[in-house]
Structure formats: C-alpha cells, structure tokens
Amino acid sequence: MLDLIFTTQNNLLNYLKKNQINQWALVPTMGAIHQGHLSLINSAYAEFSTVIISIFVNPTQFDDKKDLKFYPINYEKDIEMLNKHFKNILIYMPTVDDIYKNEVKSMTYDFGDLDKVMEGEFRMGHFNGVATVVELLLSALKPIKAYFGEKDFQQLQIIKSLVRQKQIDCEIVECPTIREENGLALSSRNQKLTQKEKKEASFLYKTMQLAKEMKQNKEQPKHIKEHIYTLYKDHEYISLEYFLITNQDTLLEATEFINSKKYRVFVAAKIGNTRLIDNLLL
Ligand code: PAF
C-alpha cells in the first residue's frame, strides 16, 4: 500500500498520468481521520473511482501557535484507518515545502463580510490561511470536485467564494455534519476530550436544538440568544465564545426572522483546553 502515499505533488501527478487516470476527486483534511472524514470520502467515491485525500496540518491557518502545537496528529493511525476502509485510496501527505515552496505565508483575500464574523473575528488571519492552502491544493491537484463538511459552514462559504473569485475549475461539494449519538459533531479535536468532557460537550447541540424549537415557537433571534446565553453562564464546564443566529447566506447576525430567508445558528465554546465549533440550520 505504501506506493499509494505521496509526499510530493510531482509524484502524485506522475502516478495519475502513468496510470492514465484523468478524473479524480479531492478530500482535503488535516488528518486525525474520523467517521466524518470517512463520510466525505464515501461521497467522493460515489461519484469518482479515483479519490485523493490530502493530510496536511496547515500552519498558516493557526493564529495561535499553541493551538497548532496541540493539534492531534497521528499519521500512522490515519493511514491504517484509510487503508482499512478504502482500497487504492491515494494519500497525499506533503511537507510544508511541497505546498508552500519558498514562503510559508498566507495570501490575502477579500471575502466581504464572510470572514469578518465568528471564526474570522475570533481567529485572526485564520481564513486567509485556509483559503491559501485550499487555493494551492486545488490549483496543483486539479480535482474535478472537492468535498468539505458542513460542520465548518463558514469555511465552506469562504471556499465557495474563493473558487468563484479565482475562477477555479472545481466543484465544491458540501456534505452533512456527522454526529455522535448524543449530538456532538464529529471533529478531530474531539480526540482531545475526556469521556466526561465528551458527555458535557453535547450541550452545544442541545442549545442549538433549543434555538430551533424557539424559532418554531415564533421567538425572535434576540430573545433566543439572550435565553441561551443565560444557560451557558450557569454551565460548570463550558465557556462560551459566541452563540449567534445568522442569515445562512450572508452570515450576518439576524435581528428578526423573515419567512423567505434561511437562518443558521453557530456556536463556539471551550471545554477544558479544547475549542469546539458547531452549527445547525434553523
Ligand atoms: O477543514 C479542514 O480540515 C481544513 O481547514 C482544510 C480545509 C483541510 C484546510 O487546511
């Protein structure tokens, strides 16, 4: 299986050429592979016979170097898991040099309001880093389609905007969030949670569900938000960063619900040392 792991773009592209493969999909990841990633890969295999998964912990999207240092990395386990579930999957595990060549630096973009709120506000430069690595990956590997999870909904909107702005010839496919039975969204960062924290973390999903019910009961965004903030204030283990209800397209905070528009709730919170984010369509 080792010959299907590539550390350089050149070797990967040569392999595709040599085997006369001319269409493929890409699933970009930062490793710590879990069922959520497997579901993205399954969606890709439903449409393509060749799927590349990239595993690259992108340094430019971490504003907090401590966060980068503690990011869960276990390449051997990732490879084992991928080979267990998929035959002939192409794994691209580049070095920083193979992606960034000489300069490990983000490019700057204009995403309008999309990157000014939520993760953009709380993690400086994060989305420029994400957009840079995604642009580099898509331009180098030229997949027909690339698959991303709705779990990172803001990231997804930014990547769609990037592809439109730069006229990158690749379709972005959005895939649903996969959750534990208790509602906790699957994320690489969950590996850092203790059993107790995992149990407590289901609170994020419960509060988003509550927001949905309150909307169904005709409550307005301001009241929903105020109520949910009081619930977090009393929580022993969870420290809330934000809980916002936004218009799903603009990501701007909603002041009132209008029937013809779609809304989403977004939450970011810390539990122990682990920062989690999640979102739900209302
Ligand atoms: O969602 C992720 O895992 C990362 O942000 C991505 C899209 C692979 C870019 O590094």
* pLDDT at res. 238: 98
Q: Which residues are catalytic?
A: 37
Question: The tokens of 135 are what?
Answer: 């642009």
* pLDDT at res. 2: 47
Ligand 1 centre distance from Cα of residue 129 (Å): 10
In ligand 1, the atom with minimum distance to the C-alpha of 58 is: 10
Ligand 1 centre distance from Cα of residue 145 (Å): 15
In ligand 1, the atom with minimum distance to the C-alpha of 61 is: 10
Long-range contacts of residues 103-106, Cβ cutoff 8 Å, at least 24 apart:
104/59, 104/60, 105/60, 105/132, 106/60, 106/61, 106/131, 106/132
pLDDT per residue as tens digits for the range 26-73: 999 999 999 999 999 999 999 999 999 999 999 999 988 888 888 889
Name the band, by pLDDT with cuts 50, 70 and 90, for residue 1.
very low
Distance (Å, whole) CA 44 – CA 170 = 13
* pLDDT at res. 3: 58
In ligand 1, the atom with minimum distance to the C-alpha of 188 is: 3
Residue 277: which H helix or E strand, with range?
A: strand 274-281
Domains, the chain, ordered by start = 2-175 (3.40.50.620), 188-281 (3.30.1300.10)
* pLDDT at res. 221: 98
* pLDDT at res. 102: 86
Backbone angles phi, psi at 8, to 5 degrees: -130, 150
pTM: 0.95
pLDDT per residue as tens digits for the range 139-195: 999 999 999 999 999 999 999 999 999 999 999 999 999 999 999 999 999 999 999
Ligand 1 centre distance from Cα of residue 149 (Å): 10
Give the residue from 208, 200, 205, 217 showing the smallest Cα distance to 257: 217
Backbone angles phi, psi at 26, to 5 degrees: -125, 135
Q: Is 130 in the pocket of ligand 1 (CB under 6 A)?
A: yes
Q: Whose CA is nearest to atom 2 of ligand 1?
A: 29
Residue 22 has a CB neighbour count (10 Å cut-off) of 9
* pLDDT at res. 49: 96
Q: Is 149 in the pocket of ligand 1 (CB under 6 A)?
A: no
Ligand 1 centre distance from Cα of residue 29 (Å): 5
Q: Which of 33, 152, 188 to mutate to test the pocket of ligand 1 (most atoms within 8 A of CB)?
A: 152
Could you tell me if 153 and 266 are in contact, meaning their C-beta atoms sit under 8 angstroms apart? yes
pLDDT per residue as tens digits for the range 72-128: 899 999 999 999 999 889 999 999 999 999 899 999 999 999 999 999 998 889 999
pLDDT per residue as tens digits for the range 203-250: 999 999 999 999 999 999 999 999 999 999 989 999 999 999 999 999
Say if strands 25-29 and 51-55 run parallel, antiparallel, or are unpaired: parallel
Could you tell me if 141 and 50 are in contact, meaning their C-beta atoms sit under 8 angstroms apart? no
* pLDDT at res. 182: 97
Ligand 1 centre distance from Cα of residue 242 (Å): 21
In ligand 1, the atom with minimum distance to the C-alpha of 159 is: 7
Distance (Å, whole) CA 241 – CA 117 = 12
Q: Whose CA is nearest to atom 9 of ligand 1?
A: 130
Q: Is 57 in the pocket of ligand 1 (CB under 6 A)?
A: no
Q: What is the rounded (10 degree) CA torsion for 210, 212, 216, 222?
A: 80
Distance (Å, whole) CA 240 – CA 9 = 40
Sheet containing 238-247, strands listed edge to edge, beginning at the edge strand earlier in sequence: 238-247, 263-271, 274-281
Average pLDDT for 251-279: 96
